[in-house]
Structure 1
Amino acid sequence: MKIRELGIEGAWEITPQQHGDPRGLFLEWFRADRLAEHVRHPVHFAQGNLSVSARGVVRGIHFADVPPGQAKYVSCVRGAVLDVIVDIRVGSPTFGRWEGVRLDDVDRRAVYLAEGLGHGFCALTDDATLAYLCSTTYNPTAERAAHPLDPELAIDWPAAEPQLSARDAAAPTLAELRASGQLPDYRACRAYAESRRSPDMPPPDGI
């Protein structure tokens, strides 16, 4: 298993080692101990979700209030998606930046995104199926969304006509969320991560 941090602090790409033979294949798609070594605090998940989407469907950009926020570990078990992570933490050096990772049932990569980051994806195939773990259970009062087609974010979605849910189509822009104080604070997110760090784990840079 190879784990590398993306260009946004708190976002990681995980590439498993696949073991195959004529019978099929085996892989470890999640290892809490390996991930904790990189994110520098214990990793716990409270809920698992499954999402099935038709080609061209765009879901997101979703996030939750911090604390506690909602970290996610996302993989694609059927088909393919472009998974998108957006830095929406006010005060972050990479505020407003997004990164896209192709998740599919061939390379079987996964992504981990820390609390305070925004998440979305575009289905590249019909019946694209995401399986993802969440650090907290669903709390509708703490759930937020930013418009996925916001020109300020300028996400290059690989769909000629993205299909959005009614909720996502009505979501506010990044500027509107910032003006209303609904975006996570970068320092608060880092402090929350630090509060969960084990004594034997080094702190993140700058803490």
Structure 2
Amino acid sequence: MQLQETLLKDCYILSPTLFEDSRGYFYEKFNERAFEQQTNLNGNFVQDNISRSIYGVVRGIHLQEGGHAQAKLVSCLEGRVWDVAVDLRRNSPTFGQWYGIELSAENKLQLYVPRGFGHGFSVLSETAIFSYKCDNYYNKESEGGIVWNDPDLNIDWKLPLEDIILSDKDKILPTFAEGNF
């Protein structure tokens, strides 16, 4: 496993070492010891989530607040997504900045999104199966977020506006300026 820093503090891209032959391939998706040695961050995940979405779906920008904040290790198991992390840690040098990367079944990349970040993705393929490893349990009362089309963040979701599909909840999230981060 190789780690690469992103432009956001404590947010990393994980690339597996792939072993291929005529039978197929094998790779170690995550190794807690190697992750902690390379980052000095906690890699103790307690909950795995999977979502399936169709082309044009934008999920996010979501976060868990306070004592229920979650770090996430995310990947795309089928299809392609544009994955976005937003640094919402007020004391961070990259506060209010976002980073995007294409995650796909083909590239097998993962993105580590630290606690205190918002997270979302858009589906670029016909369908996508998305995996989230979380280091804290979900708590409905601690849900927070930022509206997908926030004018201050100005995130490029890599989709035509007319193709974007949102949940009712995501349509009414507050803006970055309205958030209490």
2:51 is paired with a residue whose SS is strand
Q: Is the 8 A contact 1:74 1:133 kept in 2?
A: yes
- Which residue is 1:74 aligned to? 74
State which of 147, 163, 166 in structure 1 corresponds to 2:165: 163
- Which residue is 1:175 aligned to? 177
Find out whether 1:142 has 2:126 as its counterpart. Answer: no
How big is each residue's C-alpha offset from its partner over 1:42-98, in whole Å with a ceiling of 9 and x where there is no partner? 321111000111111111111111334100010111001011011122232222111
Q: Is the 8 A contact 1:52 1:128 kept in 2?
A: yes
Q: Is the 8 A contact 1:66 1:115 kept in 2?
A: no
How far apart, CA to CA, are the structure 1 residues paired with 2:156 and 2:40?
A: 31
2:67 is paired with a residue whose SS is coil
Aligned length: 179
Higher strand proportion: 2
Larger Rg: 1
Identity %: 38
TM-score (norm 2): 0.94
- Which residue is 2:10 aligned to? 10
- Which residue is 1:199 aligned to? none
- Which residue is 1:204 aligned to? none
How far apart, CA to CA, are the structure 2 residues paired with 1:74 and 1:95?
A: 21
- Which residue is 2:22 aligned to? 22
Q: Is the 8 A contact 2:68 2:142 kept in 1?
A: no
Q: Which runs of 4+ in 1 moved over 2 A?
A: none
In structure 1, stretches of 5+ residues that fail to align are 184-207
Find out whether 1:153 has 2:146 as its counterpart. Answer: no
CA RMSD of aligned residues (A): 1.2
How big is each residue's C-alpha offset from its partner over 1:147-199, in whole Å with a ceiling of 9 and x where there is no partner? 0110111001111132111111000001011xxx3x2xxxxxxxxxxxxxxxx
How far apart, CA to CA, are the structure 2 residues paired with 1:40 and 1:30?
A: 15
Q: Is the 8 A contact 1:68 1:115 kept in 2?
A: no
How far apart, CA to CA, are the structure 1 residues paired with 2:41 and 2:2?
A: 18
